[in-house]
Amino acid sequence: MTSVLFDVPGPRARMRYRLMAVLGTVLVAAIIAYIVYRFTDTGQFSAQKWEWLEYVQVQVDLINAVGMTLKAFAVGAVAALIFGAVFASGRLSEHAWLRGVSTVIVEFFRAIPLLILMFLLFYGGPVIGISMPPFLAVVLGLTLYNGSVLAEVFRAGVQSLPSGQREAAYALGMRKTQVMFLVLIPQAIRAMLPTIISQLVVLLKDTALGFLVTYQELLYYARYIGSQGQFGRPIVPSTIVVTAIYIVLCLLLTALATYLERRQRRSKKHIEPARKTEELALEAEML
Amino acid sequence: MNVLLGNLDLYGPFFLTTIKLFLIAGAASLVLGTFLAMLRVSPVPVFRAVGTIYVTLLRNTPLTLIFVFLVFAYPLLEILEINSFTAAAVALTIYTSAFICEVVRSGINTVPVGQAEAARALGLSFGQVLGQVVLPQAVRSVVPPLMSMLIALLKNTTIAAGFNVLEAGAVRAYLAERGENQFVGLLWVALGFVFLVLILSLLQRVLERRWRVAR
């Protein structure tokens, strides 16, 4: 039961842990009590602030806003996966010029902040003559950015496969494209599935950036409802509700990832990915 | 080119604000993240629960939502008045610290348990085990993902531009007011970020090479 930092507790250590547990519980309870006190004192839990939830129109609008978020997510996810697959193959190509171009594009879109990319599309597009509705700006930005990250993920996946796979495929006489699409990419996708799904969770969270380019998704609606004077400006309740919705959506996606990973671990076609892929998953998650 | 040179009075200070926000939020989130990692590996269940709940909550909310809460909802709670820059720094800190906690925790777990057991068998105290044996080894595997987190933090600071902070993302609005070409202006902002990210990536590569783990 030893861990890296803590040894098996002896009697004195157990007493200390019990004391710290009591102190910790008291501290946590105090903080929660203070937060609840602040909320009640400023009337956030009063019935009037939560009245807006009762209106059918508000409920319908809320579901519509979730639908807008999910719409941007679905289109962005599919497009990003395709973009990632294409540019991963480009980066793994044997032609140097194709490799170079793909590398430049992928690295460029990974280095720009996603918000600047969306601004470039939404505000800069009309300047050079391309009409850019908010939905298109959001989806295009999400695709380019997450597609580039996914290209790196796919590439890491293909490179983490045992080299025997590629060698055996060539030994059987397959051409380069066949090797890539019949042997390497299917295994890479299976190996990197948790990372890919984490990146899709990031995509879902990034749809909230659409709020800053006037795309009317969930966060935009929360802000809108929260500024309605007739409901008493319920910005705190609306942010709480929207936070809960986002957490539920993201947890559902993550649960899907865990389920797929567990199923895949039991499957006979499983390839153990290198450690680097877990790090890639974690750093990909940040934005 | 003219857009950049003619508006250096915008680009300069705004990028400086970005860097200031990045440094403050980066330092604070490193401290908070390490503290959260300590909570998550603690033998006391209450601390572990608090750490896990915090990290799970914050890894599944968008950063923009945290900004909205701090800028619009928090003032209504009448606890402590904070200006936009502080609100941005706090939002970035609490968001990034959740991810840094995970990185530090996985770094601590890469150290073989035998190292710590041997150190304890030699009679080293907790502080000595931590400082002389565990942390030097943990840092080696923690540094590359940590630098990636910091690069992501640098890119996340642009979200503050949508919430009254005069940093690099806000250049566009001022350029529009001055009637300049917004597309070119934003391209210069993007190039500025590519440059900053390049510096951080080089730093990451240098540190990685210096502290490469021989496995």
Residue A52, amino acid? W
Of B113, B130, B145, the CB nearest to A283: B145
**Chain A: residue whose CA lies nearest to B186:** A120
Place A80 in a pLDDT band, splitting at 50, 70 and 90.
very high
Residue B52, pLDDT score = 93
Place A47 in a pLDDT band, splitting at 50, 70 and 90.
confident
Percent of chain A at pLDDT > 90 equals 24
Top-confidence residue, A246 or A53: A246
**Chain B: residue whose CA lies nearest to A249:** B60
- B215 lies in a domain? no
What distance separates the 2 farthest-apart alpha carbons in chain B? 71
Residue A142, pLDDT score = 92
| pLDDT, average across residues A27-37 | 91
B23-71 per-position pLDDT tens digit: 999 999 999 998 999 899 888 889 999 999 999 999 899 999 999 889 8
Task: Give residues 107 to 126 of A whose Cβ lies within 8 Å of B.
Answer: 108, 111-117, 119-120, 123-125
Place B169 in a pLDDT band, splitting at 50, 70 and 90.
confident
- Between the alpha carbon of residue A83 and those of residues A46, A150, A187, B35, the distances in Å are 49, 8, 18, 39
Q: Is the dihedral of CA A109, A111, A114, A120 positive or negative?
A: negative
**Which helix (DSSP H) or strand (DSSP E) does residue B75 occupy?**
none
Task: Give residues 85 to 114 of B whose Cβ lies within 8 Å of A.
Answer: 96, 99, 102-103, 106, 108-109, 111, 113
CA distance A44 to chain B (A): 8
Average pLDDT, chain B: 87
| pLDDT, average across residues A211-227 | 85
Instruction: Identify the residue whose tokens are 């990250």.
Output: A149
Cβ neighbours, 10 Å, residue A242? 28
Residue B164 contacts residue B68 (beta carbons within 8 Å): no
Which residues, 6+ apart, have CB-to-CB distance to A189 below 8 Å?
Answer: A154, A157, A196
Please answer yes or no on whether A115 and B159 come within 8 Å at the CB atom.
Answer: yes
Residue B58, pLDDT score = 92
pLDDT of A272 higher than 80: no
Please answer yes or no on whether B61 and A247 come within 8 Å at the CB atom.
Answer: yes
Which residues, 6+ apart, have CB-to-CB distance to A40 below 8 Å?
Answer: none
pLDDT of A277 higher than 70: no
What's the domain count of chain B? 1
B194 vs A: CB within 8 A: yes
The Cα–Cα gap between B153 and B25 comes to 8
Which range marks the domain in which residue B130 is found? 2-210
Phi, psi for B22 (deg, rounded to 5) = -65, -45
Residue A178, amino acid? Q
CATH of A54-286, one of 1.10.3720.10, 1.10.760.10, 1.10.10.10, 3.30.300.20: 1.10.3720.10
Interface A-B, measured as beta-carbon pairs within 8 A, has a size of 188
| pLDDT, average across residues A249-275 | 75
Cβ neighbours, 10 Å, residue A99? 14
pLDDT of A283 higher than 70: no
Phi, psi for A92 (deg, rounded to 5) = -95, 5
What CATH number corresponds to the domain at position B181? 1.10.3720.10
Task: Give residues 206 to 245 of A whose Cβ lies within 8 Å of B.
Answer: 206-209, 211-212, 219, 222-223, 226, 235-236, 239, 242-243
Residue A222 contacts residue A216 (beta carbons within 8 Å): no
**Chain A: residue whose CA lies nearest to B129:** A5
- State the best of B77, B158, B208 to mutate against chain A, taking most chain A CBs within 10 Å: B158
Place B74 in a pLDDT band, splitting at 50, 70 and 90.
confident
Please answer yes or no on whether A127 and B145 come within 8 Å at the CB atom.
Answer: no
Provide the residue ranges of all domains of chain A, joining segments of one domain with +: 1-41, 54-286
The Cα–Cα gap between A57 and A53 comes to 9
B119-135 per-position pLDDT tens digit: 989 999 888 888 888 88
Q: How many CA within 13 A on the CB side of residue B181?
A: 13
A140-172 per-position pLDDT tens digit: 999 999 999 999 888 888 888 888 888 999 999
A59 vs B: CB within 8 A: no
CA distance B90 to chain A (A): 16
Please answer yes or no on whether A223 and B62 come within 8 Å at the CB atom.
Answer: no
The Cα–Cα gap between B96 and B30 comes to 8
